[in-house]
Structure 1
């Protein structure tokens, strides 16, 4: 498609673009920060490990890139406690209208430096890139997504550059969380029509470039990892949350007859249900977590986990 990247960019970020006008993901589909506090809790565990690796500096950053409605940034700010809360600076980065969130700074551009944890939660999938049909001679495709005749793809070099730039601003750790794909699956022809899609009002709709819908495509996370380089790991959200969140309370699986214990059981059961949704194999649990350690070894942030398979 001729100048598909430009049309996509205008549709999302132009003067009348989908995000520029103030639409947020929560208006159109269910995202992990909306399910409950558990994702923010897991990221605070990760942030604490980053903090320790940096020697507990006087200021620690949490930067939420592509913040949407700011739900994740707000939850991290609200849940942070103890000495960390006094040193923590939370920043939401988004092109949409600023949200008034207690304790959260709202900016349109990435900070020049991040001393702590930068998180791009469903950010890279909203970065426009060229849509092509094979055969095609683009060098990124030759390396990462060889195309046969009539097959569709998204050229991921735009996302690679964006992620490398973001990681290059960080001392601590950078985490991309997104739907994605791997080279071996792309080479095997798993995505003959590509992954470009559109959503509006909770439903998948035919993509149009008029600013009326969210336009997205899965991310070649392995290519992004290679572009940013350094010390990194790519694991599933399912496994990452199992490593960062405490196990479900044993009472979550057996009701009790006393009122006070019954309320505790209800709370535990509700939490277990939310965590199960975040870790669902055919749902959010299939997100890739691409984690780069910058000055802090990845091995200090996450234990060894199985490689990600979308």
Structure 2
């Protein structure tokens, strides 16, 4: 999986970039980048408006999100902002000169680290119950042919499964060992000195793990067999509850998070149609985009893992209360 995604001929090295194969919230609407910019402003306020405010975009693709966030920031915040895109592919030729392009996140950061659909592409192992109900590692060839390993799982994988995903015990049932995602996320959070780390992804929690796993492939907008030959994306949903590394971490839906950041999908008043028809059409289009970003059964069901580091997240002046307190109220809407 590592070689197929990130090796010299890997999927994420392809010239067309991820947007040539699938659509994320970033591509669905600029409202998403606007919400991330609003979150960065809240982090800025909670940090006391530091001289340098860093925005780290993990798995930046071709820089679509980080570029749009820079455009959406108020001038005063943008003047203090350091923008770091973290991506293994080469830097796009036309990228804004203000954006640093890095293979690894910077350390000692004060600001916001944002990872949109990164962890689902962090390679992991898959296990399946054999004919006797014993969990075995699934081995895969470059052409996608799968076999089960002859020996038992190693102790580390077995221990993770016992804690987070009960090992499959019926023949054919599967589980995905999310430990590499836990470790990758913990390492990313450690780069923050003060600020907020946010991971947004397809996710499930311990009470709702899928019996047959979630590993799949995507190519040109369609689901496909996850053949590890570099021709397709290979992705699996994330056990985000296992990734949560600090006591203050919160899990919420994208719907709740975006509502808290002002993306609601409310339709404009009909009176605007007669007063300013062009403005009404623009507002109606924004409403439709917001509805897509927050839709139940769609992008709105994505999970947000929010982890504060060294900052207050509630109380007067904290700046983040609207996102991290009253989440239940937003979720009910």
Same fold (TM over 0.5): yes
Q: In the alignment, what sits opposite 2:95?
A: 101
Relative to structure 1, is the Cα distance of residues 255 and 61 closer, same or farther in structure 2, using a 3 angstrom cutoff?
same
Correspondent of 2:163 among 135, 139, 143: 143
SS of the equivalent of 1:251 reads coil
Q: What are the ranges of 5 or more consecutive residues in structure 2 without an aligned counterpart?
A: 136-152
Q: Deviations over 1:95-146 (max 9, x none)?
A: 0111232122111111122210000100000000011113335111111111
Within-5 A mapping of 1:27-106: 27-99=20-92, 100-102=94-96, 103-106=98-101
C-alpha contact 1:233 1:298 (8 A) present in aligned 2: no
| Higher mean C-alpha displacement, 171-180 vs 295-304 | 295-304
- Which structure's CA Rg is the greater one? 2
Q: In the alignment, what sits opposite 2:295?
A: 280
Correspondent of 1:179 among 202, 209, 213: 202
Q: Deviations over 1:203-230 (max 9, x none)?
A: 00111011000000000000001xx223
Normalising by structure 2, what TM-score?
0.84
Relative to structure 1, is the Cα distance of residues 212 and 167 closer, same or farther in structure 2, using a 3 angstrom cutoff?
same
Within-5 A mapping of 1:162-173: 162-170=184-192, 171-173=194-196
Q: In the alignment, what sits opposite 2:304?
A: 289
Q: In the alignment, what sits opposite 2:146?
A: none
For residue 304 of structure 1, report the CA deviation from its aligned partner.
Answer: 2.4
SS of the equivalent of 1:55 reads coil
Relative to structure 1, is the Cα distance of residues 239 and 249 closer, same or farther in structure 2, using a 3 angstrom cutoff?
closer
Residues in 1 aligned to 2:180 and 2:264: alpha-carbon distance in whole angstroms: 38
Residues in 1 aligned to 2:160 and 2:313: alpha-carbon distance in whole angstroms: 27
In the alignment of these two chains, the number of paired residues is 294
Residues in 2 aligned to 1:198 and 1:130: alpha-carbon distance in whole angstroms: 15
Q: In the alignment, what sits opposite 2:223?
A: 204
Residues in 2 aligned to 1:47 and 1:165: alpha-carbon distance in whole angstroms: 21
Normalising by structure 1, what TM-score?
0.90
Correspondent of 2:109 among 103, 111, 114: 114
Q: In the alignment, what sits opposite 1:131?
A: 126
Q: What are the ranges of 5 or more consecutive residues in structure 1 without an aligned counterpart?
A: 1-7
For residue 21 of structure 1, report the CA deviation from its aligned partner.
Answer: 3.3
C-alpha contact 1:252 1:272 (8 A) present in aligned 2: no
For residue 33 of structure 1, report the CA deviation from its aligned partner.
Answer: 0.9
Residues in 1 aligned to 2:175 and 2:263: alpha-carbon distance in whole angstroms: 39
Residues in 1 aligned to 2:22 and 2:269: alpha-carbon distance in whole angstroms: 28
Residues in 2 aligned to 1:86 and 1:284: alpha-carbon distance in whole angstroms: 32
Correspondent of 2:19 among 6, 10, 26: 26
For residue 48 of structure 1, report the CA deviation from its aligned partner.
Answer: 1.3
SS of the equivalent of 2:250 reads strand
Q: Deviations over 1:228-251 (max 9, x none)?
A: 223111000001111111555663
Residues in 1 aligned to 2:252 and 2:242: alpha-carbon distance in whole angstroms: 14
Q: Deviations over 1:160-198 (max 9, x none)?
A: 000001111112000000000000112xxxx12100000
Residues in 2 aligned to 1:213 and 1:122: alpha-carbon distance in whole angstroms: 16
Correspondent of 1:192 among 178, 188, 211: 211
RMSD, matched Cα: 1.9
SS of the equivalent of 1:181 reads coil
